[in-house]
Homo-oligomer: A and B are copies of this chain.
Amino acid sequence: MLRRSSIWMPMLKEAPSQAKLRSHQLLVRGGYFSQMASGIFSILPLGNRVLEKLEKVVDSEMQVVLGAQKTRLPILLSADSWRKTGRWDQTGDELFRLKDRRDNDFCLGPTHEETVTDLVASFGHLSHKQLPIKLYQITQKYRDEIRPRFGLMRGREFTMKDMYSFHADEEDIMRFYDNVCTSYENILKKLGLDFVKVRADTGNIGGNFSHEYHILADTGEDDLVCCDSGDYAANVELFEPEAKTSTDVFNLDCNCTESTCSCMGKGKLRIKKGIEVGHCFILGTKYSDTLKAIGVNADQKRFPLIMGCYGLGLSRLIAASVESYRYHASTTKVTADDAIVWPRAIAPYEMIIMTAPGKESERQKRKDIVEKDIVPYLSETVDINEVVLDDRWKESLGVKMAEAKLIGYIWVVLVGKKGIEVHHLPSSNIFSVQHASEIPSIISQFDDRIQK
């Protein structure tokens, strides 16, 4: 069990003036991230715990559910393959470019279609028996944004999960594509976030089929066209330029066929705001043709591998969680400006134990209850890696409680005037208990409610 006095938890009273979004303000004030240069951040210890928990959730879906294999492709990418696919010239100033000491061109990878295709191709022609191949990584990505802003939402260095798959035929990739979509939905549900899957433009990546995952949030930068009574949803980018000039124009009938929307033509199209966190593409053979990633079928015939790619922005997902996660029973009190409410799956710590200071005799008594009763009991019944002991016995309760809310612990165990209280911060529920042994049963009431 970590002692609060033994760890460095820097916090700020005020958010930097350029921080406009709630998520940016709270994550900086709470000491999760610290800006080092425009759009470039240090991930502080609390932020690293959140990121590692999110990585575990993602790893589990990718490996156990999808059977994908984890790799780490380089960050520093040679220009050679980017020239072959044409993206070296097509990509503008958003690509960080550099030269090595021998004047060779490199870039910092924003995405790795060329690299992973080169890698697979380097092992020669692949038997159809080796397919599909499903590789993913969770690494830093780079994009020299014109206007980096909103903290982790739009950084120049950010953490992404990107997966690439290689298949022998269309049927196989479509099945896998659907499985990836299900996994993305599992991850977003595990985080308790409101999301929508929309049809999307394929942009610079290329390919012929694409969906995005958006977290719904008023502060989102993307306009999504959603049917109000069915499941049709698309990024506004898919519509004609003239239609984009006014959002009113979307107060239209959902002229869908049965296959494209469940409203059966009865719905209206509305605009919603979203934060893009995931993007899936069927790439086809664009990269495998050019970079010679070749399969051999049962009849010894050669074919270019059919590829898909699947991104999930982890830094952005953390910011989006702070921006838009609401515990379903939460009151206005705990969604105030000075509190982060984390989805339980990625809360940096689940519990803090603290005391109200009081007079010296009271202070000692409360300390004894914590150290001789609560700590030993919890050490045997909960995961102590998730518990912080606030051992600043003389610090005011107001300071400690404000810190607990800003950081976003799920549980506060408080020993004060009223004896032992268990606070469930996301719901503002407070439970009085006579003894530490009652704590686990209180926690268990809430687990299922948080882990939707």
Contact = CB atoms under 8 A, between A and B. Distances in A.
A78 interface: yes
A279 B94 CA distance: 37
Contacts of A93: 101
A144 B101 contact: yes
A421 B397 CA distance: 64
Nearest to A43: B72
A119 B122 CA distance: 42
Contacts of A140: 75, 140
Interface string A96-108: 1110110010101
Copies of this chain present: 2
Given A70-B48, A144-B101, A122 B78 contact: no
A369 interface: no
Nearest to A124: B10
A390 to B, nearest CB: 14
Contacts of A94: 101
Interface in A277-292: none
A130 B8 contact: yes
A129 B394 CA distance: 14
Interface stretch (A34-42, A245-253, A435-443): A34-42
B72 A75 contact: no
Contact of A157 (B76, B119, B122, B133): B76
A296 to B, nearest CB: 15
A44 B71 contact: yes
Contacts of A403: none
B42 A72 contact: yes
- How big is the A interface, by class? 35 or more
Interface in A35-81: 36-37, 40-45, 47-49, 51-52, 67, 69-78
Contact of A74 (B37, B70, B133): B37
A416 to B, nearest CB: 23
Contacts of A6: 67
A291 to B, nearest CB: 12
A130 B72 CA distance: 36
Given A101-B144, A122-B34, A146-B101, A45 B156 contact: no
A82 interface: no
A98 B37 CA distance: 14
A8 B123 CA distance: 11
Interface string A257-272: 0000000000000000
15 contacts: A6-B67, A8-B130, A12-B123, A36-B118, A42-B71, A43-B71, A43-B73, A45-B69, A45-B71, A48-B69, A51-B72, A75-B140, A93-B101, A96-B100, A100-B144
